[in-house]
Amino acid sequence: MTNRAVFVGSIMLLLLLLAGCDQKQPGDKPASLGEGKGSVAGVQWSVPQRWSEQGARQMRVATYTVPAAAGDPEPAECAVFYFGGDQGGSTEMNIDRWVGQFETGTPPARSEREVNGMKVTLVQIAGAYLAPAGPMMQSTGKKDNFRLLGAIVEGAQGSVFFKLTGPAKTVGECDGEFNAMIGSLAKQ
């Protein structure tokens, strides 16, 4: 075999591999954003199309329900919090609080990115969720095999907190939607 034939064969194999990388896997959900918008404190975002808005609740600007994946016992929930300028604690305090809501043997996965001029700290936690509720945030019972996707957005008027929790499979299927929503952040 000549060097040219090896080269052409290698290029063909590379192209086939690259074409396969872009294909969706079974169970992948499209990350399409809907017409719904949310906003608080000068920060705006687009809501994923499949998510249902539940409206504001105590201490929450918005709450969204994410449909359960096949076989999961319940849907996931994405809550958006804003406590006011210089309120709600630091990024580290909130990540520590979220970690404390789980029984997990591994540290959270963390990353940072900038979206339209705003610093965003992202966190992922997996394990047994202690399902805190009420004014004292006491556990309402342990839920095994749960995940949390969190984003803390440093807006001009204070931090905005996005916290998505639910069964691991459901959260895994909506990971792209959560990232698309965070990628849609804009200053108002």
This model's pTM is above 0.75: yes
Using the CB atoms, write b or e for 85-119: b if 16+ within 10 Å. eeebeebeebbeebbebbeeeeebeeeeeebeebe
pLDDT in the model for residue 27: 42
Q: How far is CA 182 from CA 25, 108, 119, 123, 175, in A?
A: 23, 19, 11, 12, 11
User: What tens-digit pLDDT sequence spans the chain (188 residues)?
Assistant: 554 443 333 333 333 333 333 333 334 444 789 999 999 999 999 999 999 999 778 889 999 999 999 999 999 999 999 998 888 889 999 999 999 999 998 999 999 999 999 999 999 999 999 976 645 455 567 899 999 999 999 999 999 999 999 999 999 999 999 999 999 999 98
pLDDT in the model for residue 133: 61
- β-pair partners for 133: 138
pLDDT in the model for residue 75: 97
**What span, in angstroms and rounded, lies between the C-alpha atoms of 87 and 90?**
8
pLDDT in the model for residue 2: 53
Residue with tokens 């900038």: 114
Question: Tell me, what amino acid is at 45?
Answer: W
Q: What is the DSSP letter of 134?
A: T
Structural domains of the chain, with CATH: 33-187 (3.40.1000.10)
The DSSP H or E segment spanning 96 is helix 91-100
Would you give the distance in Å from CA 161 to the centre of its chain?
A: 11
